[in-house]
Every structure is written in structure tokens, then in C-alpha cells.
Amino acid sequence: MYKKFIMQMFLCNMIFLSGWFCVKEVQLNRLSATPAFKSSLSENYQPPRVDRFFGIPKQAASGQRIVDYCVIEKEYKYDLAQSDYEALLKIVQAEAGNEDEMGKMLVAGVVLNRVDSRRFPNTVTEVVMQQKGGVYQFSPVAIGTYQKTKPSQETMEAVEKVLKGEDYTQGALYFVSRKSADPEKMRWFDSSLSKLFEHGGHEFFTNP
């Protein structure tokens, strides 16, 4: 009887211990399955920052890298005073108002070639208003249309390109419209100068 009781107590303890070890093993398994680092996703989002220079993106920043965009503006070859700039616009409009953009650029280029030449005055205004033997070098100045003309947007854009260095004149210092030129003046062009090319209603010349 006593031995039977002892045996029952022993079996009960064994069952209890077995159950306890099973519970601990489950807890250890859960612990080992837990990640070493816990990550969380933030709902706060900030859009990329964009700096602008006159509407052009300069720098875009994100969480990973920064990309810089350089705004490169073409420099002006000619830095004119306001009065010279206005004179250039007006003479181009008066001489080539009916020409295409290239025709306008060529007339502006000839005027600036004269400014750069030792044969002519040093400023645009002086070149435009120059007289030789009492005669103006540019007919619109002589007949008064230069004074009344108003430069168009197309003329401004053409002159802008020339001021930034676009030059298709091949060094021309003179231009003339043969159909409207005085015959005697035209003979001087043909005999005293070297013809370079024609464009639109003008022929372009330089000194031989």
C-alpha cells in the first residue's frame, strides 16, 4: 500500500516536470524567433525640396542624395550702353524690318563689325550717325525713317543673338540693296569693294 502511494506520487511529479519543460521550450522558441531589430514605418512624408532660379530647378534634395543642376547662361560678347543698344535695334529694324531673322542678324553684325574696325567710329551710335562727305552712311537715317521706327520683338531677339556672339557676316563691313540703291553708289560698291554673299534683299561687302 505504501509503495503503491509512493509510486503514484513519483509518476505525478514526472508528469508535472514534463509539462513544465514543454512550456519553457515553447517560450524559448518564441524568443529566438523574435527579430533582433524592430523596424517601424513612419507615416510622416516630406516631399523633395526643389530650389528654383527664374523657374529653372537648381537643386533637388531627397532622403538619399542631392543633385545639383548648374544654370549656364551664355555671356554677352558685346556690352553696350543703353543708347547704343537702342540705336542698334532701330537701325536693324529700319534696314531689315522686312527680312527674316538671319537678315536682321546680318545687319546687326555689320554695324558691330564697324564698331570693331579701325576704319569706323568706336560706338554703335557714332557708326549709325556717321557721315561721309555730308552724306549719312545709312539711308534710313538720311530720310528720317530711322528716327520714327519702333523695333519689333523679332528684331530684339535677332539682335540679342548677335550680342551673345552669333556672327554670320564673314567680316562684312558694308551692305546694300541693289534694287533700291543709287546707280552711282552701286558702281562704287562693285568697283571698290569685295562682294562676300547675298541674303534676302541685301548684298554684303568688305574692303579688298
> With contact defined as beta carbons under 8 Å apart, do 182 and 96 qualify?
no
pLDDT for the residue 75: 87
Q: Considering only CA atoms, which of 144, 159, 201 is closest in space to residue 176?
A: 201
> pLDDT over 90 for what percent of the chain?
61
Q: What is the mean pLDDT of the chain?
A: 80
Residue 100's identity, in one-letter code, is D
Residue 60 belongs to domain spanning:
47-75
| β pairing state of 202-206 and 135-136 | unpaired
- Show the cell assigned to 148: 520714327
Same domain, yes or no: 114 and 173: yes
Task: Based on the fold, state whether residues 191 and 166 are members of the same structural domain.
Answer: yes
Task: Answer yes or no: are the C-beta atoms of 141 and 166 closer than 8 Å.
Answer: no
Reported confidence tier of residue 72, pLDDT bands at 50, 70, 90: low
Q: Which of 21, 56, 75 is the last residue of a domain?
A: 75
Q: How far apart are CA 52 and CA 46, in angstroms?
A: 18
Same structural domain, 93 and 194: yes
Assess whether 61 and 103 both reside in one domain: no
- Residue for cell digits 552712311? 137
Whether the CB-CB separation of 117 and 169 falls below 8 Å is answered with no
198/117 same-domain check: yes
pLDDT confidence band for 30 (50 / 70 / 90): low
Q: Which three cell numbers stand for residue 114?
A: 564697324
Per-residue confidence band for 61, with pLDDT thresholds at 50, 70 and 90 = very low
Query: Are residues 64 and 127 located together in one domain of the fold?
Result: no
CATH number of the CATH domain containing 137: 1.10.10.2520
How many distinct structural domains can be found in the chain?
Answer: 2
